Amino acid sequence: MQTQINQYIAEINAFSPANADELEAFRIRFLGTKGIIKELFEQFKSVSPEEKRTYGKVLNEFKQLTEAKYAELKEATDSGLKTEDSGLDLTLPGDGFAVGSRHPLSLIRNEIIDIFKRLGFVVAEGPEIEDDWHNFSALNFPEEHPARDMQDTFFIKKNHGKDDIALRTHTSSVQVRMMENGKPPFRAIMPGRVYRNEAISARAHCFFHQVEGLYIDENVSFSDLKQTLYHFVQELYGEGTKVRFRPSYFPFTEPSAEMDISCTICKGSGCNMCKYTGWVEILGCGMVDPNVLENCGIDSAKFTGFAFGMGIERIANLKYVIKDLRLFSENDVRFLKQFQSDII
Ligand code: DAH
């Protein structure tokens, strides 16, 4: 009887069910009403009285061991740990959470906003669907004037036979809304998305982002414009970045200029980014044309001001060297997660 029990114990210790059915077969074999343990207790009745004490103990221990083993395996099987057919392995390590990151254009926009906020500029916004007045006429683009062709426009609605409603081509339209609805002085920057009717390529897109700036007060001069933009460039690209202004033309500013900075990639020695000139253009600017002030109900004899506008993609490009504009709108996480920041 002892040898027999020892064999059973070895069998039980080695037992590892692959599924719940195997465990149930185990239970029936050892613990069932016609099972091994029941039978051993039957045999025990005919054991001699001297042997009863030893075998009684052995048998009871064997029964306890079997029951404990069964209870342990049952719990594991019920919680799915050992069931192959559930397809679930709770011992596998969990998936980590993927933490998102700010879009590079948002990072740059926030950086630009922060710099101008420190100079006392507020943030203003306007609609992306604009009428002709706010996008063109008020900004001193006469009707039928070729200056309108500078910006290929998505017109979306006609009024009295004329193209009237369009997707805004620049954030300069927000200047008009701001001046119409308030009283000077104004000191604001206006970030937003703009649209142009262009074929999508590595270097052009049908939508992109701009930040517009406007400063109107008494006695604002071109030197205020220069100093403000100079400070902005030092803050954004680091001290020692050079600036230069070239005369240009915009209908809404007089005089108008374009501002270049010393190439941020090669520091002015010449590279692909600056086409070996050492300079890259980053924005348009100028003194607000008196006609624009008058169109918006502001006394141009009393007030003067400057304005500027820049493309955020361009600024980001000079910071991160992104050769293909399309990457900004494709939402490829492999691209996006390269731009981590502390600013949430
Ligand atoms: N609106 C111009 C553009 O989209 C950029 C610009 C140039 C804005 C000069 C200004 C400015 O406010 O003064 O190309």
DSSP characters over 206-273: SEEEEEEEEEEETT--HHHHHHHHHHHHHHHH-TT--EEEEEEEETTEEEEEEEEEE-TTTTTS--TT
Query: Hey, how many other C-beta atoms are within 10 angstroms of the C-beta on 186?
Result: 22
> Do 308 and 160 belong together in one domain?
yes
Write out residues with Cβ below 6 Å of ligand 1.
170, 172, 212, 250, 253, 284-286, 307-309
From residue 307, alpha-carbon distances to 36, 59, 89, 191, 232 in Å are 96, 98, 63, 13, 14
- Look up the pTM and report it: 0.73
Name the residue at shortest CA distance from atom 7 of ligand 1.
284
Domain boundary among 48, 80, 112: 80
Q: Could you tell me if residue 145 is inside a domain?
A: yes
The pLDDT of residue 58: 87
Q: Are residues 171 and 228 in the same domain?
A: yes
Residue type, 100: G
49 and 128 share one domain: no
Instruction: Please check whether residues 7 and 115 belong to one and the same domain.
Output: no
Question: What are the distances in angstroms from CA 79 to CA 27, 66, 154?
Answer: 18, 20, 62
Domain residue limits at 30: 2-80
Tell me: do 153 and 269 sit in the same domain. yes
65, 80, 95 - which closes a domain: 80
Q: How many CB atoms lie within 10 A of CB 51?
A: 13
Most ligand 1 atoms within 8 A of CB, residue of 169, 252, 254 to mutate: 252
- Measured over all CA atoms, what is the biggest interatomic distance in the chain, rounded to whole angstroms? 127
Residue 86 covered by a domain: no
Torsion of CA 238, 240, 241, 244, to 10 degrees: 150
39, 52, 53 from 49: Cα distances, Å: 19, 5, 8
Q: Is 61 in the same domain as 115?
A: no
Query: Which among 140, 172, 220, 248 is the best mutation to test ligand 1's pocket, defined by most ligand atoms within 8 Å of the CB?
Result: 172
Q: Can you tell me the distance from the alpha carbon of 282 to that of 258, in angstroms, rounded to the nearest whole number?
A: 8
Predicted confidence pLDDT, tens digits, the chain (344 residues): 788 888 988 988 888 888 888 889 989 999 998 999 999 888 888 888 888 888 888 889 989 999 998 998 888 877 765 545 667 788 888 888 877 889 999 999 999 999 999 999 999 999 999 999 999 999 999 888 888 888 889 999 888 778 789 999 999 999 999 999 999 999 999 999 999 999 999 989 999 999 999 999 999 999 999 999 999 999 999 999 999 999 999 999 999 999 999 999 888 898 988 999 999 999 999 999 999 999 999 999 999 999 999 999 999 998 888 889 999 999 998 999 888 765 54
Same domain, 297 and 157: yes
In a domain, 323, yes or no: yes
pLDDT of residue 169: 97
> Measured in angstroms, how far is the CA atom of residue 94 from the centroid of ligand 1?
52
Domain CATH code at residue 147? 3.30.930.10
Substitution candidate for ligand 1 out of 177, 308, 310 with most atoms within 8 A of CB: 308
Predicted pLDDT at 341: 61
Domain count, the chain: 2
Both 34 and 182 in one domain: the answer is no
Return the pLDDT at 297: 97
Measured between alpha carbons, how far is residue 174 from residues 147, 151, 181, 299, 304 in Å? 19, 16, 11, 19, 18
Which residue CA neighbors atom 5 of ligand 1 most closely? 309
- Identify whether 218 is part of a domain: yes
pLDDT of 181 reads 97
CB-neighbour burial class of residue 2 (10 A; exposed 0-12, middle 13-18, buried 19+):
exposed
Does 161 map to a domain? yes
My answer on whether 32 and 133 are in the same domain is no
Angle between helices 222-237 and 104-118 (to 10 degrees): 130
Residues 6+ apart with CB under 8 A from 321: 265, 273
24 Cα to the center of ligand 1, angstroms:
80
Determine the Cα–Cα distance for residues 196 and 170; give it in Å rounded to an integer: 9
In terms of domains, do 114 and 64 share one? no
Classify residue 282: in a domain, yes or no: yes
**Taking a C-beta distance cutoff of 8 angstroms, is the pair 310, 210 a contact?**
yes
- Whole-number Å distance between alpha carbons of 334 and 344: 19
271: CA distance to ligand 1 center in Å?
27
Asked if 286 and 150 sit in the same domain, the reply is yes
Report pLDDT for 81. 54
In a domain, 85, yes or no: no
DSSP letter, residue 307: E
Query: Left if phi > 0, otherwise alpha if psi is -120 to 50, otherwise beta: which for 51?
Result: alpha
Residue 99 lies in a domain: no
Instruction: Quote the pLDDT of residue 43.
Output: 87
Which atom number of ligand 1 is nearest to the Cα of residue 150? 14
Same structural domain, 26 and 165: no
Number of residues that make up the chain? 344
